[in-house]
Amino acid sequence: MRFDILGPTRIRRGDGGEIPPGGPGMRALLVLLLLDAGKVVTAERLVTGLYGADAPAGVANALQSRVSRLRRVLGVRDVVEYHPAGYRLAADPGAVDAHRFERLAAGGRRALAAGEHGRAAALLEEALGLWRGPALADVGDAPFAPAASARLEELRLDCVEDRVQAGLELGRHRELVAELRELAAAHPLRERLHAQLMRALYGAGRQAEALEVYRRARRVLGEELGVDPSAELTAVHLAMLRADPALGVTRTGPVPGTLLPPPAPGPDPTGFAAAAPGAGSGEGPVPASGAGSGENPGSAGPLTAPVPDTGLSGPAECAGPARLGLRAQLTSFVGREDEMSRLRALLGRARLVTLVGPGGAGKTRLAGEVAAGDRADVCFAELAPVADGAEAAQTVLGALGVRDAGLLPPPEPGRPVPSPLARLTAALHGRPMLLVLDNCEHLVAEVAHLADRLLAACPRLRILATSREALGITGEAIHPVGPLPVPPAGTAAEEAATVPAVRLFADRASAVRPGFGVDEANVGQVLDVCRALDGLPLALELAAARLRSLPLAEVASRLGDRFRLLSRGSRTALPRHQTLRAVVAWSWDLLDDAERLLAARLTVFAGGATPGAAARVCGLPEAEAVDLLSSLAEKSLVEQVGGRYRMLETIRAYCAERLAERGETEERREAHGAYYADLVAEADPALRGAGQLEWLRRLDEEGDDLHAALRWAAATGRAALGLRLVAGLAMYWWVRGRRSEGAGLAADLLGAIGPAPVEGLEEEYAMCVLVASSGERRSPEPPAPPETVAPLVPPIGRPHRYPLLAMMWSMFTGPASVSPEEIGPGPAGERWDGVTDPWLRALLRFGYGFLLQHRGDAVAAERAFGEALGLFRAVGERWGSALTLMELADCADLRDDRAASRALAGEALRLAEELGSVEDIAELVHRRARWAVRDGDLETARAEYLLTAEHARRAGAPEILAKAHRGLGEVARLRGDLAEALAHARRALEVCPLEWYTAEETRLRVTVDLGRIAASGGDVAAARARYGEVLVPALSRYPSVAGAAVEGLAEAALLEGDTAGAARLLGAAVALSGAAVPRGTAPPAAHPATHPDVVRVAEAARARLGADAYEEEWLTGARLSRDEVAALLGL
């Protein structure tokens, strides 16, 4: 008999039937006895539990009567036993679900504590599966029930928390988020659930949301209980900020979720260290003199100061290191176990190790196996498809998952932009990583230069390269990779089966001929094959694949004949590369004509092919291509990875020779180029619509072949093909943040086809010129100056084959070259009547809003951005929507509509995450930090700035790291720690690259911060000097920065006793922001989007002047034009 009380009471017989448990009184007695099944329950406890503390007279007789009825219900008199002290239910506790639950939960908790997370999860899931509803669901009126059911429910919640913990330890962060949100909402005071929700969000790569959970929990605890968060919850919060390894991070996508560790002491040639000033060695580059020699820290001269620990050390390594680019292997790794151990030891001593050996020796597989077992993050970069050594750094950048730009376009494409090497160095500095550079032999010089630069700049980086020759740079350790050992002739089967070459052949043979094994009957033939192939792994695998259709004796015989012919009888003199070539040739000879045709034609693909692409380029019906690809895969001449078929480079080289012998190379290259030109033509409009994410993924997969087609077009002077490819790929390069990559390819094409546009492809030529100017230049002068294509760009209102061209051209010409009236919709919208592309109409609205914003008309700009957002949403395009949402968030912030601003930024953040733009995620988290400062929540602001720094490192974005340092300095100053504030300001200037145009605004804002620090230290003259440095460049280019400087001048005026001037300057700062201030409008305490500094100055000025006089002065300043503000400032 079994009893269930975790839900409505249920009694089950051994045959599966159920016994009705009777009425409420009967159920209550049964459950009370079941809670102590197998034990005597005293009569006193039964009476109190059933009747309460004030039991009526004669209750003993009533209890006896109830026991008798229960025995009749159960049908077995001896189940309820009488004892002198009370009654006992004669049932094993294991027959009661509540006791089984407690036993399983305790076992799961023990397994969890012992680190057996999988076993813990299974036990805890089983325990929770016993629950069918609330505990003691149908005896709730009994006096004993509330306490008993509360205990069980508490145990249930403990079990849920333990099961969640096991799931977190197993890396199930994403799947736990929804459940934990529900649990935390249902139990808002249960801190462990909040901590687990934080961990789940953090591990799923949603760190900003995790911090928000902490903020909400802290607020609830304070409001409800008047207490601070517990040590556990606080510890998780701090661990998140430090990226403690115990938290773990789920890794599922190409975009890396890695957190950067603090660097070892060492040089940082990029100025982009992951550690704070003073972290590590306590040293760092110090600008020329200032506060360190006794001068005021805010003086207008260069800064020097003792650098305290700013608290911005890099996060530690995360649990579960990243595995970027490592392919899952379909076959076992056989025969090099001892070699792997030696190689891992070598990597522990040397930072550059090169595996050198012939083709087919297994270098790539060995490198992958070693990397998979490394404790650091790993990035595997395949260089075989890279034809131009100049693209090596960009290829590694792509493998690392780092974009070379965020979603926001640069203000001026002609300005210098970071090179892929600079971006790569920034992303890797301070990060413990093993970088695998595979197949370097055709790019030895360029890869050697890249490795040398990276190792010098990134002290925690190690590189494992594979090549047929050494890189030849200082510090390189060479590890030769030779063939697998082969046993001598006459070796017995049992012994031979343990030798690596035989083990590999037998393993692969058994995969195609189940049951194959090495025995005394076939060992001689197996040894003949292994010796004929010199133990080369690829050759052995090709030969083993033939056992699918040929008997072993025939394989051995044919190989023997071929090698005797090649070696002219001198078997020992045969070079190993000739051995491999021979076995590939043998495999080729065994193909039928159709298979040979497809194998030869497939060689024009650089990165593998889908069946559809193979059919089109190779000139075959798709059904036939699918059958032939499957046949080639069975013979190990191609490998299937996902939905693509790829050739190993050694086989591809041989088959390419056969294609050339057929005289088809150029014809197939033409077909290959045409296929990919058609593909990007189909992709371009789709990238501007709801299918954007799917097409981004598809073009990611086709990247090697797209670029191969473009390089071939440039090399052979096929201008029309190249221009179509560049124009069709431009949107992809921009949305994916691969602008430098596209710029280099476009520049190469222009260099090949010359400066004149191709008739009928004028728009494509203009696009190519602008793409070439949008990234790093490989030569001092562009192949074609961008201004020369002005006549080729369709005017506003005319149809565009490539709508992105309109944006790129407006970015090149800049906002000063056009007024809003020139591109606005006109009185009746007639100027845009000719624009039929819905995405271009949305883009025009966005550009119209941008120009209005630049002119200072914030209200009209916000209206235009709102219309643009509606149009972008209508077509389902994420990139334009994200850009517009960012602008609208700023507009709402300017109006002091904080709820709207946060909601808009939150949606932009979601879209940035979908598009994989870590840089834009960092920028949006930075905005939230600014809002927290304005709200006076300095603790949250500091946490958000630390999170900004983390994202900036992952993105390789030093300008955003500079913003994070700047924000942390502001928080420190507002807390009164001027030394820390100065250290962060100095660090912001150090990491913000001078040559990056996009960083100019940040550097100007840091200068404003230095003025604030000086004013806080009492040196008003130094503060004024700092603000003066900012105003001239900022008034014309960065009105909001100029406004911040004017706010600083307001504080200076107040400190010098000019209270009316301070009020007027606060108003002038609003005028610079573009916020509308109509007559009759009374100012707020300071102005919209108030900052604590501004609030403090405004309140002091109002107190001194009185409300009326303050408002009059404030409105006087707020209604000035930008030129009038400049005159007020004497500029």
Nearest to 612 by CA among 679, 694, 657: 679
Backbone phi and psi for residue 467, each to the nearest 5 degrees, phi listed first: -165, 160
Among residues 629, 614, 546, 613, the alpha carbon closest in space to that of 583 is found at 546
Beta pairing, strands 80-83 & 476-480:
unpaired
pLDDT of residue 1066: 92
Q: What confidence tier does 295 reach under pLDDT thresholds 50, 70, 90?
A: very low
Mean pLDDT of 175-189: 87
Q: Tens digits of per-residue pLDDT, 861-886?
A: 899 999 999 999 999 999 899 989 98
Confidence at residue 330, expressed as pLDDT on a 0 to 100 scale? 63
1077 vs 794, residue with greater confidence: 794
pLDDT computed for residue 464 by the predictor = 96
Q: What is the SS3 assignment for 576-588? A: HHHHHHHHHHHHH
Q: What 3-state DSSP class applies to 289?
A: coil
pLDDT of residue 475: 87
Residue 972 or 204, more confident = 972
What is d(CA 857, CA 1010) in angstroms, rounded to the nearest whole number? 30
The residue written with tokens 């890099």 in the block is 314
Mean pLDDT of 831-854: 80
User: Is the distance from CB of 471 to CB of 354 less than 8 angstroms?
Assistant: yes
Find, among 132, 135, 116, 126, the residue nearest to 34 by Cα.
135
What whole-number percentage of the chain has pLDDT above 90?
A: 27
**Cα(335)–Cα(498) distance, integer angstroms:** 9
Confidence class for position 833, pLDDT limits 50, 70, 90? low
Q: What is the mean pLDDT of residues 559-567?
A: 56
DSSP conformation letters of 290-325? SGGGTS-TT-SS---------S-PPPPPPSS--EES
In the predicted model, is pLDDT for residue 1035 greater than 90? no
Residue 357 has pLDDT above 60, yes or no: yes
Is pLDDT at 309 greater than 50 in this prediction?
no
State the angle between helix axes of 191-203 and 207-225 in degrees (0 to 180), rounded to the nearest 10: 170
pLDDT digits (tens, 9 = 90+) for 230-250: 777 877 887 776 555 556 544
Q: How does pLDDT run across 257-284, given as a tens digit for each residue?
A: 222 222 333 333 323 333 333 333 333 3
Strand partners, 184: none
| Among 373, 291, 393, residue whose Cα is nearest residue 1019 | 291
Per-residue pLDDT band at 818 (split at 50, 70, 90): low
Q: Contact at 8 Å (CB) between 925 and 948?
A: yes
Angle at the Cα of 1023 (from 1021 to 1029), degrees rounded to 5? 105
pTM: 0.59
Structure confidence by residue, pLDDT tens digits, 662-675? 999 999 999 999 99
**pLDDT in the model for residue 367:** 92
Apex CA 428: angle with CA 425 and CA 429, to 5°? 80
Report the C-alpha gap between 876 and 888 in whole angstroms: 18
More confident residue, 730 or 826: 730
3-state SS string for 830-847: HHHCCCCCHHHHHHHHHH
Question: How is 1064-1075 classified by DSSP, letter by letter?
Answer: HHHHHHHHHHT-
CA distance 343 to 322: 20
Strand 80-83 and strand 2-4: the pairing is: unpaired
Between 145-169 and 191-203, two packed helices, what is the crossing angle to 10 degrees? 20
Which of the four pLDDT bands, split at 50, 70 and 90, describes residue 749? very high
From the CA atom positions of the chain, what is the Rg in Å?
Answer: 36
10-12 and 80-83 beta bridge pairing: unpaired
- Beta pairing class for 40-42 and 323-324: unpaired
CA atoms within 13 A of residue 431's CA, in its CB half-sphere: 30
Of the chain, the end-to-end C-alpha distance in Å amounts to 94
More confident residue, 291 or 66: 66
Mean pLDDT throughout 570-591?
A: 64
pLDDT at 285: 29
CA distances from 659 to 137, 727, 822, 995 (A): 77, 30, 57, 48
Q: Is pLDDT above 90 for 973? A: yes
Say how far apart CA 463 and CA 380 lie, in whole Å: 10
> Strand 433-438 and strand 461-467: pairing?
parallel
Q: So what's the pLDDT on residue 949?
A: 85
Mean pLDDT of 115-129: 86
**pLDDT tens-place string over residues 429-474:** 777 899 999 989 889 999 999 999 999 888 889 999 999 888 989 8
**Distance (Å, whole) CA 459 – CA 269:** 11
Which tens digits make up the pLDDT trace of 505-552? Answer: 998 898 888 889 999 999 999 998 888 887 888 888 888 888 888 889
Residues 6+ apart with CB under 8 A from 15: none
Return the higher-pLDDT residue of 158 and 419.
158
Mean pLDDT of the 920-937 span? 85
Pick from 272-276, 636-640, 940-944, 967-971: least confident = 272-276
| Spatial distance between the Cα atoms of 839 and 873, rounded to a whole number of angstroms | 10
Task: Check residue 377 and give its pLDDT.
Answer: 85
Read off the pLDDT band of 303 (50, 70, 90). Answer: very low
pLDDT at 242: 58
How many CB atoms neighbour CB 78 within 10 A? 8
| pLDDT over 50 (residue 496) | yes
> What percentage of the chain reaches a pLDDT higher than 70?
83
pLDDT at 328 over 70: no
> What is the CA 1040 to chain-centroid distance, rounded?
31
Range 74-89 average pLDDT: 82
Q: pLDDT value at position 248?
A: 55
Coil, strand or helix at 634: helix
Structural contact between residues 433 and 274, judged by C-beta atoms closer than 8 angstroms: no
- What is the residue type of 1114? W
Is the per-residue pLDDT at 254 higher than 90?
Answer: no
pLDDT of residue 182: 86
Write down the pLDDT at residue 314: 33
Alpha carbon dihedral 1106, 1110, 1112, 1118, in 10-degree steps, equals -170
Confidence of residue 797 (pLDDT cuts 50, 70, 90): low
Contacts of 1130 (CB under 8 A, 6+ apart): none
The pLDDT-based confidence of 1071 (bands split at 50, 70, 90) is: confident
Model pLDDT for residues 160-173, shown as the tens digit of each residue: 999 999 988 888 88
The least confident of 384-398, 636-650, 836-850, 860-874 is: 636-650
Across the chain, mean pLDDT equals 80
Which residues lie closer than 8 Å to 681 by C-beta, 6 or more apart?
Answer: 724, 728
